[in-house]
C-alpha cells in the first residue's frame, strides 16, 4: 500500500524536518475543523477544540504506531476532544431557527451556519432558499441528537468515512457502528419533524447515492 501524503509528511518530520509537522497540520486542519464544527455547532467552540486537537496531535504524534491511517487517527483525536468538550459543557445550547427570537437560551445573533448561508444567499429561485433553510434546520437537528448518534452521522455522512474507519475512530466494533447508524438517522429525522413537520430536503434532481 502506497504511503499517503500525511504519512510522507510524518516520515519527513521523524527524519528531522520540523517544517513537515506544520505542513501536516495544515493539510488536516480544515477537515478536523469541519468535524469539530459539526459536532459542536458553534464556530468559536469548534476553533478552540480544533486547536486543542492539533496540539494534542503534536504532543502524541510519537505515540502513533501506524495501526490505523494517520488521517483517521487525527480524526479520532478531534472526535474525542469534541465529545469531551460536549460532556464538560453541561448546559446544552440550543439554537433558535428564528433570527428574531432572542428570548431563548441562545443569545448569539446568528449561528455560523446561518451567517454562512446568509452570505451565500443570492436572489434566486425560491426552491434554493427553502433548501438553505432546510440545511439550517438540519444542522440544528443534528446538534440536538445524542452525542454518540451525532458522531456516527458526522463521520459517515459528513466526513465520508467507511464503517471500518468509523469503528477505528470511535473505538467500536464495526457491527456496533452499523447498528447505530439507522437509529441515528431516525433520531435525526425525529428532530427534523419537530423543527419542521413538512420538511423536505429532497433535491429536485439527482439521487442520494452519489458517494
Partner 1 sequence: MAESYDTTVLMLGYLENDLLPQDRARFERKMSADPALAQLNEDLQADRAGLRRLPCEEPPQGISEQVIQINERQLLLDWAPLGSTVDAPDSARKRYQVHRWLSYGGLAAMLVLGAGVLTFSLLIPNPPDQMQIAYLTPDARTKAEERTTTETSDQLGNFRNKKTKIAKLQSVPAGTELNEGTVGGANARSEQQRKHEWATGRNQKARTATSPILASQQEAQTPALGMASLHSGDIITGQALLPLVDIHVDTTDTVQTRQQLTRWAISNDV
Closest CA to 112 of 34, 52, 184: 34
Closer residue to partner 1 in complex, CB, 123/208? 208
Q: Tell me which stretch binds partner 1 (CB under 8 A): 1-9, 49-57, 78-86, 100-108.
A: 49-57
Give the span between the Cα atoms of 5 and 133, in whole angstroms.
37
Among 7, 8, 58, 129, which residue sits at the site for partner 1 (rule: CB under 8 A)?
Answer: 58
Q: Are 86 and 74 in contact (CB under 8 A)?
A: no
Give the span between the Cα atoms of 118 and 159, in whole angstroms.
24
172 touching partner 1, by CB under 8 A: no
Residues 6+ apart with CB under 8 A from 158: 34, 35, 38
198 touching partner 1, by CB under 8 A: no
210 touching partner 1, by CB under 8 A: yes
Give CB contacts under 8 A, 24+ apart, made by 34-37: 34/158, 34/159, 35/75, 35/78, 35/79, 35/82, 35/154, 35/155, 35/158, 35/159, 36/78, 36/81, 36/82, 37/112
Give the span between the Cα atoms of 184 and 190, in whole angstroms.
10
Q: Total binding residues for partner 1 by CB under 8 A?
A: 56
196 touching partner 1, by CB under 8 A: no
- What mask, x for binding partner 1 by CB under 8 A, covers residues 125 to 164? ---------xx--xx--x----------x---xx-x----
Compute the least distance from the CB of residue 190 to partner 1, in Å: 10
Interface contacts to partner 1, rule CB under 8 A: 13-14, 16, 18, 21-22, 25-26, 29-30, 32-34, 37-38, 43, 47, 50-51, 54-55, 58-59, 61-62, 112-113, 116-117, 120, 134-135, 138-139, 142, 153, 157-158, 160, 178, 181-182, 185-186, 188-189, 192, 199-203, 208-211
Amino acid at each position: 500500500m502506497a504511503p499517503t501524503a500525511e504519512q510522507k509528511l510524518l516520515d519527513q518530520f521523524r527524519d528531522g524536518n520540523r517544517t513537515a509537522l506544520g505542513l501536516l497540520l495544515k493539510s488536516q486542519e480544515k477537515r478536523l475543523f469541519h468535524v469539530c464544527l459539526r459536532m459542536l455547532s458553534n464556530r468559536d467552540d469548534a476553533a478552540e477544540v480544533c486547536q486543542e486537537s492539533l496540539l494534542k496531535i503534536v504532543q502524541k504524534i510519537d505515540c502513533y504506531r501506524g495501526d490505523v491511517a494517520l488521517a483517521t487517527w487525527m480524526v479520532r483525536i478531534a472526535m474525542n476532544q469534541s465529545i469531551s468538550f460536549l460532556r464538560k459543557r453541561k448546559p446544552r445550547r440550543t439554537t433558535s431557527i428564528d433570527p428574531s427570537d432572542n428570548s431563548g437560551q441562545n443569545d448569539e445573533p446568528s449561528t455560523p451556519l446561518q451567517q454562512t448561508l446568509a452570505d451565500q444567499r443570492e436572489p434566486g429561485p425560491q426552491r434554493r432558499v427553502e433548501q438553505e433553510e432546510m440545511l439550517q434546520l438540519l444542522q440544528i437537528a443534528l446538534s440536538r441528537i445524542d452525542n454518540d448518534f451525532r458522531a456516527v452521522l458526522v463521520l459517515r455522512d459528513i466526513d465520508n468515512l467507511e464503517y471500518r474507519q468509523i469503528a477505528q475512530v470511535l473505538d467500536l466494533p464495526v457491527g456496533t457502528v452499523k447498528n447505530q447508524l439507522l437509529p441515528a438517522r431516525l433520531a435525526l429525522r425525529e428532530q427534523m419533524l419537530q423543527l419542521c413537520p413538512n420538511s423536505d430536503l429532497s433535491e429536485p434532481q439527482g439521487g442520494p447515492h452519489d458517494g
